[in-house]
Amino acid sequence: MAGFLLRRVVNHGVLVVLAASLAYLLAATALDPRAAFEGRAPRPPEAVVDARLTALNLNDRTPLAERYRTWARGVLHGDFGRTQEGERVNAELWRRLGVSLRLLIPGALSGGVLGVLLGAYAAVMRGRSADRLITFGSYLLLAAPVFVLAVLLQTIASTINDAAGAQVFVWVGESTPGTPDGGLAAFADRVRHLLLPTATIALAQLPLYVRYQRGVMLDVLHADHVRTARAKGLRRRRALLRHGLRAALVPMTTFSAYAAGLLVLGGVFTEKIFGRHGMGEWLVDSIARGDVNAVAAIVCVAACAVLLAGLVADLLNGVLDPRVRSGAVR
């Protein structure tokens, strides 16, 4: 098991380096930070713009390989450079990351857990009305993009607020202006603001897990180890929970690693629509400004997050599958 995890850590480390390097090279090639300075009124002199861009390692007239080496040396020392405004990328990065994690983690966990449970239940109830209802609902959610789900939830919440004559749901920003920091009131206010964007993330993840878990569970229902457990006297429900569901969860751990990429993408749309100042909103704004260092840092952290999800999936795979622990599966 230790050797298996060590190989995965090394593989993921190499992938992080490649992803971060590619992100910087693409951003440095495609984005135009010079346009942000030359578009100011009055327009700064060319020499001033060049000096400013060079100081920030953003000068497109400096060879790309030299800019990459400067950026890579900084990253190795934990420094992602500075934004176009001259602010340190690191400070803004960690603040924005906290905002995103408070949104993505609850949404991913609730959507994933509920999706697995509903998918397994639909497989057990195959052909019945419950299965047809869950299947129809999952297809309906799959057909709706994340931004459509966000706008739909906002419309429903606004209708409820109008009917109630009060702000039952609040979704713009992270907290209500004027709310005292700390205490139960501040916590409850943050939860209210998190409710709709978290539900959007969860609903976007839910149908993916439902469809995949249902298919895997159907394969397990008539597997030999489940039939053997039933033949030894275990009741159907106990045999399915103890032997069937555990076997069906093994491929789901791998699927969750692939779903992490879609989770990050959904977070970008959700943050922008709900006015949450996280990594996704910052990425969109930085691309529009041509802020190479900020874009590279955000993509680097996103790549690390996706690959960390893959490492966690490998760990869960080893816990659930005895073949991985014994070294039979590499």
Residue 242: DSSP 8-state: I
Dihedral sign computed on CA atoms, order 222, 224, 229, 233: positive
| pLDDT value of position 178 | 62
Residues of the chain with CATH 1.10.3720.10: 95-289
pLDDT in tens, 161-183: 888 887 778 887 777 766 666 66
| pLDDT value of position 316 | 74
Q: Are 330 and 4 in contact (CB under 8 A)?
A: yes
Among residues 301, 312, 261, 258, the alpha carbon closest in space to that of 278 is found at: 301
To which residue do tokens 């195959």 refer? 126
Q: Are 248 and 254 in contact (CB under 8 A)?
A: no
Distance CA 262, CA 207 (A): 12
Q: Are 82 and 89 in contact (CB under 8 A)?
A: yes
| pLDDT value of position 323 | 59
| pLDDT value of position 206 | 93
| pLDDT value of position 325 | 53
pTM of this structure: 0.79
Within the chain, strands assigned E span none
To which residue do tokens 């002199």 refer? 45
Question: Which residues neighbour 102 within 8 Å (Cβ) at sequence distance 6 or greater?
Answer: 194
Among residues 18, 270, 248, the alpha carbon closest in space to that of 124 is found at: 248
Residue 244: DSSP 8-state: I
Among residues 33, 236, 211, 234, the alpha carbon closest in space to that of 134 is found at: 211
| pLDDT value of position 2 | 64
DSSP H or E segment with residue 42? none
- At 11, is the secondary structure helix, strand, or coil? helix
Taking CA 321 as the corner, what is the angle to CA 316 and CA 327, rounded to the nearest 5 degrees? 105
| pLDDT value of position 140 | 92
| pLDDT value of position 1 | 59
Hey, what amino acid is at 257? A
Distance CA 61, CA 161 (A): 54
Q: What are the DSSP calls for 53-103, one per residue?
A: HHHTT--TTS-HHHHHHHHHHHHHTT---B-TTS-BHHHHHHHHHHHHHHH
| pLDDT value of position 226 | 67
Distance CA 117, CA 327 (A): 30
pLDDT in tens, 200-220: 999 999 999 999 888 888 887
| pLDDT value of position 114 | 93
CATH fold for domain 95-289: MetI-like fold (1.10.3720)
Q: Which tokens belong to 1?
A: 């098991």
Q: Which tokens belong to 251?
A: 């491929």
- Cβ-based neighbour number of residue 205 at 10 Å: 28
Q: What is the pLDDT along the chain (330 residues), one digit of tens a residue?
A: 566 667 777 877 788 888 889 989 998 998 888 887 777 777 788 888 888 889 989 888 889 999 999 999 999 888 998 888 888 999 899 999 988 998 899 999 999 999 988 998 888 888 889 999 999 999 999 898 898 999 999 999 999 988 888 777 888 777 776 666 666 777 777 888 889 999 999 999 999 999 988 888 888 777 766 667 666 666 666 666 666 677 777 778 778 877 887 888 888 889 888 888 889 889 988 988 888 999 999 988 888 888 888 777 777 776 666 655 555 555
| pLDDT value of position 177 | 65
